[in-house]
Amino acid sequence: MAKALQSLLIILGLILCFTTPVLADIVTEPRSDLTLEKLQSQTSNLIQQEGRATLNLSNYRIDLSHPDREFNRQFYQEINNIIIRASSAININFDNSLILGDFDLYQLGIASSIGEGVISSLFTEVEKAQIKQYLTVDNINNQLIPQINVFRGTLYFNNTLFTGKLDGSDSIFLQPVNAADATFQADANFNQAVFAREINFSKATFQQSANFLSSQFLGQVNFPQSQFKELADFSQSQFEALAVFNKVVFNQSANFSRSVFSQIVDFSQAIFSDRLIFAKSQFLDSVILTNCNLDQTVTFRDVYLNSLLDLKDAHILNRLDFSNAFFTPQSQINVSGLAFDGTEAKIIGQPSVIGKLLRVSRLQGNETVLRNLIRNFRSLEQIADANYIEYQQQQLKLIQINSRLFKTSWRKIFTWSWISLIPQWMSLSILLLLGDYGTNISLLFSLGIISTAFFSLLFWIIDRYRPHISQPIIPTRWEIIFMLLSYVFLTIVSIFNIFITTNKPWLTLITIAVVLIPIPSLITSKIYQRGRYHQLLDQSYLVENGAFREFQISLGRLPIMPRFPFFRDRYEPILWSTRWNWLNYYNFSFNNIFKVGFLDIRVRDQHLPGLISTLVWYQWSLGVIYIILLLWTLSRTIPGLNLLIYF
């Protein structure tokens, strides 16, 4: 029994040895009441802290709850006397103190009028220059303050508890303000304050409203892990350096409207239980809202965004409003991992603009995000934005297929899983290049016009230029001029439009060139190599229906004339003698590509060389594919048109 007791005592002793330093850190010095005598003693015996004389009022219980008490008046007067008499700045340390009642912080500063030549002579020339500089920065949002309170030294409020209101308004803080782990049980007012150096309110708790209205933060702003239980008002403020609000909890509204953020502002992992307002604010650098919980409306109305707005892995339960926002060309919104966690969750912005700003880093893990975004914009009838998100989705899908196709181990090449990716890769690449996956109607029309002009010129050459026959057929000079000028004009305008409307114009042009040039060029060269030895060499290969001249949609019409004799009598060769003859070849190509035309022009079926027939059917086949792609694109870009096409 004795040995067991001895062993237990040894174990307890070891535990105490190892835990004593920890307990020592946890237990703080007890607060003693600050009396007038103690205050006078501290003002007479300044300590050194961070290389500067410091008035040490830490670990005190300072009772300012009775305004009529003599202590209250003496408290501010004693501190002011030592500050004013000092030739250099003096720090004030309230660390771990308990301040009862309202604390008029502004009374501890040096009161000075503002204006040229009226700044207090107590300041050094450097300090006077600083004060003038800070006050001329937008003159505190164009609101003239007749008198300002200047704090020359550093203020320490670490782990300080304020039971009453704190008033530090209309003040300039030339040195840092440290209030880590501070607790403000009543209102904290820093209205129109100027913080020239870094401020630190990390893990601070504001149990009532925190007012930083029209304040200027010229140094780094630190509010990490702090908590605002009531309104946090930073409206009309100016942040010139990094602003850190990560892991902050806002239980009520957070108002940053009309503020200017010159550098990065970090709200990562913050919780906004109520509204977040950035209306008419300016963001000159990145805004980080990663892993945030946005429970109510987030207002970015009329903001100016010049860089990245990062919403990665954020959770929204209500509206994200970007109405009337101005975005510079380098601005973008990262929505990778963005979660729509409520039925009211939606993103609102200017149609045809907001969708192009949203970015997703990769497809894997963001499938739900993209679906939610597409559904979001379709519910708002912002079809262009929904289509752009879907276009971005398919681009990411193509990147994913490319990775699987070209970065596969050589052992897996030519397996069925690998081979099945090839048609997916080809079809998706073509759809993205020739119409941005059904989202770019302007690009698709340009491709159709290029195709129409190319085949019109080709059929015109084949039909009108037959030099190696007994009686050569050659077009007139005016016909040559009109045909060539029209072809060049339509092609150049279409190519120019392609460069405007797509991100990969060269790849698009290469794709259309591969489709248009090789096969028609080969057929045309064969025609002129072999020569033409058949009847009706002196007549056109194209015939027109002379029974009518009207605009027709010819989706199901074939490019050759019918065999039934009654209908064949209506078709006659096109006229070569007229000056507008060259338009017939455009009409024929429009019928084959766009499936519309004013004249029913087809190719004859008698004495027609097989190569010419092959070329005509090649163009008609391309036209079928083109019109399907065109109708699909129109149905996706024009609301309600898909229903009309269906009927």
Q: pLDDT digits over 147-159, tens only? A: 788 898 999 999 9
- Cβ within 8 Å of residue 430, ≥6 positions away: 511
Q: Is 247 left (phi over 0), alpha (psi -120 to 50) or beta?
A: left
Distance of CA 636 to the CA centre of its chain: 24
Torsion of CA 199, 205, 208, 210, to 10 degrees: 20
Give tens-digit pLDDT for 356-367. Answer: 999 998 999 899
pLDDT at site 4: 47
Give tens-digit pLDDT for 319-335. Answer: 999 999 999 999 999 99
SS (H, E, C) 434-492: CCCCCCCHHHHHHHHHHHHHHHHHHHHHHHHCECCCCCCECCCHHHHHHHHHHHHHHHH
Higher pLDDT, 404 or 399: 399
Mean pLDDT score, 458-480: 88
Q: Are 146 and 113 in contact (CB under 8 A)?
A: yes
Question: What are the tokens at 574?
Answer: 């096109």
Residue pointed to by tokens 């509010």: 223
The answer, as to whether pTM is greater than 0.85, is no
Give tens-digit pLDDT for 595-630. Answer: 888 888 889 888 888 899 999 999 999 999 999 999
**Highest-scoring range by mean pLDDT, 68-77, 274-283, 424-433, 566-575:** 274-283
pLDDT at site 412: 62
For CA atoms 135, 136, 140, 144, give the dihedral sign. positive
Whether residue 642 has pLDDT greater than 70: no
Whether residue 565 has pLDDT greater than 70: yes
Determine the Cα–Cα distance for residues 104 and 214; give it in Å rounded to an integer: 19
pLDDT at site 21: 40
What percentage of the chain carries pLDDT values higher than 90?
Answer: 56
The span from the first CA to the last CA of the chain, in angstroms, equals 98
Whether residue 24 has pLDDT greater than 50: no
C-alpha distance from residue 10 to each of 7, 20, 22 (Å): 5, 15, 19
Distance of CA 347 to the CA centre of its chain: 12
Determine the Cα–Cα distance for residues 546 and 569; give it in Å rounded to an integer: 9
Per-residue pLDDT band for 241 (boundaries 50, 70, 90) equals very high
Determine the Cα–Cα distance for residues 269 and 246; give it in Å rounded to an integer: 6
Per-residue pLDDT band for 20 (boundaries 50, 70, 90) equals very low
Give tens-digit pLDDT for 254-278. Answer: 999 999 999 999 999 999 999 999 9
Q: Are 106 and 170 in contact (CB under 8 A)?
A: yes
Helix, strand, coil in percent for the chain, rounding step 5? 40, 20, 40
Give tens-digit pLDDT for 201-210. Answer: 999 999 999 9
DSSP string, 263-297: S-EE-TT-EESS-EE-TT-EESS-EE-TT-EE-S-
What percentage of the chain carries pLDDT values higher than 70?
Answer: 89
C-alpha distance from residue 522 to each of 272, 294, 487, 542, 555 (Å): 67, 63, 20, 21, 28
Determine the Cα–Cα distance for residues 190 and 212; give it in Å rounded to an integer: 5
Per-residue pLDDT band for 128 (boundaries 50, 70, 90) equals confident
Give tens-digit pLDDT for 186-225. Answer: 999 999 999 999 999 999 999 999 999 999 999 999 999 9
Give tens-digit pLDDT for 537-554. Answer: 888 889 888 777 777 787
Distance of CA 501 to the CA centre of its chain: 20
Kind plus residue range of the DSSP H or E element containing 582: helix 582-593
Buried b (16+ CB within 10 A) or exposed e, 115-132: eeeebeebbeeebbebbe
Q: Are 588 and 560 in contact (CB under 8 A)?
A: no
Give tens-digit pLDDT for 575-585. Answer: 888 888 899 99
Q: Are 175 and 200 in contact (CB under 8 A)?
A: no
Q: Are 252 and 276 in contact (CB under 8 A)?
A: no
381 φ, ψ to 5°? 60, 30
With CA atoms as reference, report the closest residue to 206 among 227, 220, 222. Answer: 227
- Cβ within 8 Å of residue 602, ≥6 positions away: 542, 543, 544, 545, 558, 559, 560, 561, 571, 588, 591
pLDDT at site 1: 41
Residue pointed to by tokens 């997916």: 424
Whether residue 11 has pLDDT greater than 60: no
Give tens-digit pLDDT for 66-119. Answer: 877 788 889 999 998 898 888 788 999 999 999 999 999 999 988 876 655 546
Q: Where are the alpha helices (DSSP H) in 380-420?
A: 383-406, 416-419
The type of residue at 619 is: Q
Mean pLDDT score, 239-250: 96
Give tens-digit pLDDT for 494-523. Answer: 999 999 999 889 999 999 999 999 999 999
Q: To the nearest whole number, what is the mean pLDDT of the chain?
A: 86
Kind plus residue range of the DSSP H or E element containing 308: strand 308-310
Give tens-digit pLDDT for 28-77. Answer: 467 899 999 999 999 888 898 888 899 999 999 999 988 777 888 899 99
pLDDT at site 59: 95
